[in-house]
A and B are shown apart, each in its own frame.
Chain A
Amino acid sequence: MKFSGTAHRYGRDVDTDVIIPARYLNTSDPDELALHCMEDLDAGFVGKVSAGDILVAEENFGCGSSREHAPIAIKHAGVSVVIAKSFARIFYRNAINTGLPIMEAPDAVDGIGDGDEVTVDADTGTITNVTTGASWQAQPFPPFIRDIIEGGGLVEAARARLGANAG
């Protein structure tokens, strides 16, 4: 899996309340949630994000509530992958389960600025800052995680696997 896009860079402890504020949790429609992605941290985010862009943040990304609306909003806003120094545990699990690629890469985060062009090869774990030419090696996705993400989420991957077994 390869991703490329413009980096949108944020700080540490980006919580799920700013990723998708509770005032929008009266719906679970992915496209409606995406309209308010990151609204309370960066009201201009939805206006500037393009399909394939990359979210970059420091430690503890996704802390707070267990709302799966957070990774769903990010994914449906067009973000291809989130790179952070570390992730809060429930968000980490939810991102994989909903098919949003995430990578822990502290060195890469330090070397990527807001607006830089970045490419990610999730199969090899290589992250490249095209703007500066620097690149880093992160942990690639293990095959079962890649299957879940490529399948579109845990449930879809499980169904595909069960279907393959049955066939």
Chain B
Amino acid sequence: MPRPMTITEKILAAHAGLPEVEPGQLIECDLDLVLANDVTAPIAIREFAKIGVERVWDATKIALVPDHYTPNKDIKSAEQAKIMRDFARAQAITHYYEIGCMGVEHALLPEQGVVGAGDVIIGADSHTCTYGALGAFATGVGSTDAAVGMATGRAWFKVPASLKFNVTGTLGPWVSAKDIILHIIGMIGVDGALYQSMEFTGDTITGLDMDGRMTICNMAIEAGGKSGIIAVDDVTRTYMQGRTERPWTEYVSDEGAVYERVYEIDAATIPATVSFPHLPSNTRPVAEARDVKVDQVVIGSCTNGRLEDMRVAAKVIEGFRVHPDVRLIVIPATQQVYRDMMHEGLTDIFLDAGAAVSTPTCGPCLGGHMGILAAGERALATTNRNFVGRMGDPTSEVYLASPAVAAATAVLGHIGLPADLG
């Protein structure tokens, strides 16, 4: 009998061809997918060329998504995107997404069925950990690791220890997946899960839809985590059926699997949460942040740019106007989300409120384009990082919160709750 293992250990063992693995062990795994974007792919392609192989290991298992500075904001970024486009054509990469099909990678790939349960995925983007929401092991790497992955279909890993976050009970009104993960990061800090895997369990987690689960796993990296993961259940299966292009494999953590630490969290104690500058761990209840005025609100990103996020934001803002001192920028994460928003009337609600609604892009989340902050300006965003200068000038500030809080804040002109709208 192999030792009892966590989901993460089981996936890694299976991909390393080993009956069991344990934390700290160095292993080499077969990869199911290698991802890069218009920022990280050019360096990966440069390194790939140095390796001296002609073709990628499997053109169907590489995803290249031009989402960061696209549609391109300037000549230099257009040159970077072109390096990736030319490579994708030359190598006949199946999962290259041109403008018009493209979406924010971590919303796009699950939606398009490119990732599935039981996969091992590396991506040259730190939020690759999002796919843990589907029961996959997915982790961010740099361009060089991605280059070697593209050439060989393999990568080495140190098996991470696991932390368990067992969230149980009922969330308060307007408290969402975003609040759960911000609360956890506030609790353990930005290096609280360094080198480790974060496994999320409990009836509050299983009660979330896939969009919410992806929000949670997406931000594992903001606690320093190597990956985040949620076990497959009927919600996951329903999402993957008819969508995921490869057969998937389901793993569950064994009774007796070893966790570095187990955190028990009562959902009822989690408030609507906002992260103050300049770390995601700098959290406070929204109710204590009402004196913070904002110049801009951004709803979008790989964290909160999915359909359910848009539904919640639209529900809050319907019938109101954006505060005259605020710019509201709404960015659906994929073309499908964009289209669904139109069909459900959400786009009209945002436009009626006075929002700018954009084509999919990472855009302002990383200070790329489409909503850069001037010196001293403040934004509240549904994005994932609020580091110094993240959205623009180094003296600007970013506050992180849920779509519901973002919508309310856009109307109020200061940070606040949907209930404050009266």
Which of B76, B148, B191, B390 is the one whose CB lies under 8 Å from A27? B76
| Main SS at interface, chain B | loop
In whole Å, how far is A121's beta carbon from the nearest beta carbon of chain B? 26
Chain A positions 19 through 58: 1 when the CB is less than 8 Å from some CB of chain B, otherwise 0: 0011101111000000000011100000000000000000
Contact A154 B144 (CB under 8 A): yes
Across-interface contacts of A88 in B (CB, < 8 A): 191, 194, 224
Across-interface contacts of B124 in A (CB, < 8 A): 66, 68
Residues from 76 to 129 in A contacting B, C-beta threshold 8 Å: 86, 88-90, 93-94, 97-98
Residues from 370 to 422 in B contacting A, C-beta threshold 8 Å: 385, 387-390, 394
Asked if A155 is at the interface (CB within 8 A of a chain B CB), the reply is yes
Contact A26-B224, Cβ < 8 Å, known A17-B390, A155-B144? no
Contact A21 B389 (CB under 8 A): yes
Contact B39 A17 (CB under 8 A): no
Closest A residue to B68 by beta carbon equals A25
Across-interface contacts of B147 in A (CB, < 8 A): 155
Contact A60-B194, Cβ < 8 Å, known A17-B389, A155-B50? yes
- The answer for the CA separation of A31 and B76 in the assembled complex, in Å, is 15
- The answer for the CA separation of A159 and B53 in the assembled complex, in Å, is 11
Which of A22, A64, A69, A155 is the one whose CB lies under 8 Å from B368? A22
- The answer for the CA separation of A27 and B367 in the assembled complex, in Å, is 15
Contact B47 A90 (CB under 8 A): no
In whole Å, how far is A61's beta carbon from the nearest beta carbon of chain B? 10
- The answer for the CA separation of A66 and B74 in the assembled complex, in Å, is 23
Contact B144 A25 (CB under 8 A): no
In whole Å, how far is A100's beta carbon from the nearest beta carbon of chain B? 11
Across-interface contacts of B388 in A (CB, < 8 A): 15, 17-18, 40-41
Contact A68-B126, Cβ < 8 Å, known A13-B190, A17-B385, A17-B387? no
Contact A25-B191, Cβ < 8 Å, known A17-B389, A159-B50? no
Which of B74, B126, B194, B389 is the one whose CB lies under 8 Å from A65? B126
Contact B50 A64 (CB under 8 A): no
Asked if B46 is at the interface (CB within 8 A of a chain A CB), the reply is yes
Closest A residue to B394 by beta carbon equals A40
In whole Å, how far is B153's beta carbon from the nearest beta carbon of chain A? 15
Asked if B143 is at the interface (CB within 8 A of a chain A CB), the reply is yes
Residues from 260 to 282 in B contacting A, C-beta threshold 8 Å: 279
Contact A23-B190, Cβ < 8 Å, known A63-B224, A90-B142? no
Contact B279 A13 (CB under 8 A): yes
Contact A155-B47, Cβ < 8 Å, known A13-B191, A17-B388? yes
Asked if B304 is at the interface (CB within 8 A of a chain A CB), the reply is no
Closest A residue to B42 by beta carbon equals A28
Across-interface contacts of A156 in B (CB, < 8 A): 50
Contact B46 A28 (CB under 8 A): yes
Across-interface contacts of B50 in A (CB, < 8 A): 155-156, 159
Which of A39, A68, A162 is the one whose CB lies under 8 Å from B144? A68
Contact B76 A26 (CB under 8 A): yes
In whole Å, how far is A11's beta carbon from the nearest beta carbon of chain B? 12
Asked if B96 is at the interface (CB within 8 A of a chain A CB), the reply is no
Residues from 107 to 127 in B contacting A, C-beta threshold 8 Å: 123-126
Question: Could you pull out 15 A-B pairs where Cβ atoms are within 8 angstroms?
Answer: A17-B389, A17-B390, A18-B388, A26-B73, A26-B76, A28-B42, A63-B190, A64-B221, A64-B387, A66-B124, A86-B194, A94-B145, A97-B144, A154-B144, A155-B144
Chain B residues close to A by CB (< 8 Å) = 39-40, 42-43, 46-47, 50-52, 68-69, 73-74, 76-77, 80, 123-126, 128, 140-145, 147-148, 190-191, 194-195, 221, 224, 226, 279, 366-368, 385, 387-390, 394
9 more contacts with CB within 8 A, not counting A18-B388, A154-B144, A159-B50, are A27-B76, A40-B388, A40-B389, A65-B126, A66-B125, A68-B43, A68-B142, A94-B142, A154-B145
A-B pairs, top 3 by smallest CB distance, nearest first, are A94-B142, A26-B76, A68-B142
